[in-house]
Structure 1
Amino acid sequence: MAALSTAFLSGALAERDADAFLHAGHTAEPALRYCAGPLPDGEAAFVYADGQATLCVSPALDAAARSTVRTEDSAAAVRVNDAPVGEQAVAVLDECGVTGPVLTPRNVPHDAALYAENAGYDVASTDAVARARGTKDAAERERTAAAQAAAVAGVERARELLRTATVADGRLWRDGSDEPVTTRTLREAIDAAVRSNGACPGVESRVVLGPEAGDPGDRIEPGETVVVRVAPREPGGYYGALARTFVVEGEGGWERRAQLAVERALDSALRELEAGVPASTIREEVMVECGAYGFDDDALPETAGHGVGLAPRERPDLRSDDPLPAGTVLAISPAVTDPDGGEVALTDLVAVTEDGYESLATTERSLRP
């Protein structure tokens, strides 16, 4: 995990005339993980006051905390105690002589905020961490690329399973056997490939038949659109995002037109990418290109993409006009749906650069496995 620059916290405190920043909660929560680094399951608190970062943990997390806490601006302190982490955080505020407002993320647990308020501190919310997470440094992008490489492995395993499947009696059978190809067998194969590449299958990974996800045991039939979405998480907590659509022995009708639409939409969006471009421009490119192939707004996704990082979906929102800074990691996700034809979707993950973008691992787009 890269060292955490606390400059954004110093800036937020100065902007709000506040004295300290406090966050507490479960160690898997993305904002806390961003501040504290990867920790085992448990609870922790992160305090920044008087130019120093302090991580509060229970004895069970002591060793892990000392090896993962990450600041580059000052020596980080680790406070170990059996007391609730919110109570420990207030003790740090007391020791630092904090008298002014204390900033917290909007999603700080209620009990942590209560500890501070009951101790007489004026608590106010800030989105400083969310804004900082909107851009990824080189180490964060490297972790995201590792997650994306696992996503590619998962998609390629799905492609192989479908490519080697046999069509007999109008049904799809796994590699010439008497085992039908189902969404469950496909998802299990994807997950195995992701794990073998050092990542965990994400909660947003799924296999969709037709216009919506069905039962995990649904059979995959010849001519049916199969959308494979893979969003694995690497050990440091960063996610990938990749989607491809497959059709075994398709007729080349509706799904071929849809595939051309989403491919052109993705390419058009990528051509527009560079630092400073409004986020909404990317969504508009997707909508315009898909519309050119005859798909109206009802057939298109609401956002056409989103940020990816320590959460599978985070800033930026492509419906906003906020400029995209260099370092933004963005999943661009054109898709079209049809009540009868199903869904055709693509997702690629890229990092915005000053004059374009950097692909964070991808694979071919063909409908044919």
Structure 2
Amino acid sequence: MVRLLIFTYAAAGLGHLRVTGALVSGRPRNHSYELLGTSDPMVTKIHRLTSINPIAKKIGEAFQYGLLEDIFTKAYVWYLRHNTKEVYERVLHMIEEKPDAEGVTIVATHFGLAHQIAEIKNKIKRKTGKQVDVVVQVTDDTSQHIWCVRGADITFVPSQQTKEELEVYAKQQGINIHAEVSPYPTNPSFAKKIERSIETREEAFKKGSDRPINVIVPISGAAVGLKYLTKFLLELDRSSKKFHFWIVAKRSDQTKRFLSTIGKLRWIQLITGRSDNETVGLYEKVYRENLIHAEVTKPSEQAFKALIPPTMIGGSVLLFTEPIGRQEKDNIVFLKRHKLLVEDEDIKEKMTGESHYPRGVLLPLDPKNAARCVLTCMDDEYFKKMTADFSYSPESMMSSEISERGTWLFWEQLRLLGMI
């Protein structure tokens, strides 16, 4: 007999869905699984409002630090743990539908459901007579206190720094937390070698090459930064004929105008999904079916695609837009610590005498300057060096934070702990 796996996620951006999808794809194949999502419209509205409205953004960020963070965390956790009836009934139904499962492992990629599941874990055990383990995967390299889940059996974090900071907070609050550092789980299909019959990325980045450069632009769930992207992409297209753009977005009122405007680019594929899940699937499909050279993206969970080398399917050059919120700023710090990111003003310095090239570039805040930055990197063959001469620093390789096999390592650790 094997365990039933239950994956929980929230409709607060596409990041949680992508991480959930990666873990589902890499799961042991003999284990059946169920998906438990929350479609709380309030969570979605708050996420979108604090992502695009300048005033709401500042208020939202204020509640991610210091005293306000502590107040918010305590209030929200209290709310979550006192509103578990629906979640309990749904989980119980899933378990009852799989009577042969010897136990249950519930994987949470969003703190909301993580707190609720941890609250009802013992109640489910008593009701079903089965062992129930709650696994939390932190989806950014952030030590925000909301990720400290009382009752979770194990919490995976992307770095030692985040582990130590969460442990300090847990000790202050009297919470017993078992945190483990494990490389961020990315989709296993992205970590496959590019077939020899396909050209390498560096060939398209060679100066004078007539090969097109395929650029993918996934639009975030909150449809953030569309004005910036519009100006940036139009300027790139105006300045060079080399770019082929793949825009992946969910069809919605928020993206309708953007998709109409951006459709004027010389070579473009507009790929739209009707739902969040479909949109995530379409994004992964583009990578599987095309050699993508560069990706324009937010430094959300997408930042951890920097753990995938350029020789692999998902190893495109990463062009990051402005970080929004504490978690994205924390991800930028992670990338810089491992020398995986360079900022515009540092590129010339990095191009001379550098033995370890980064995986990504943090674009300037002005979209026209961002376009000029990309064109300069092409003219000076910096992108070619990033794809042809890339290697992780010795310090990073010695850490337990860097590997494209994060999903496999996640499941291997659970196997060793007897949770699968």
For the aligned pair, the TM-score class normalised by the smaller chain equals under 0.3
TM-score normalized by structure 1?
0.27
After TM superposition, the score normalised by the length of structure 2 is 0.25
The structure that has the greater radius of gyration is 1
From the two aligned structures, give the one with the greater helix fraction. 2
User: Which of the pair is proportionally richer in strand?
Assistant: 1
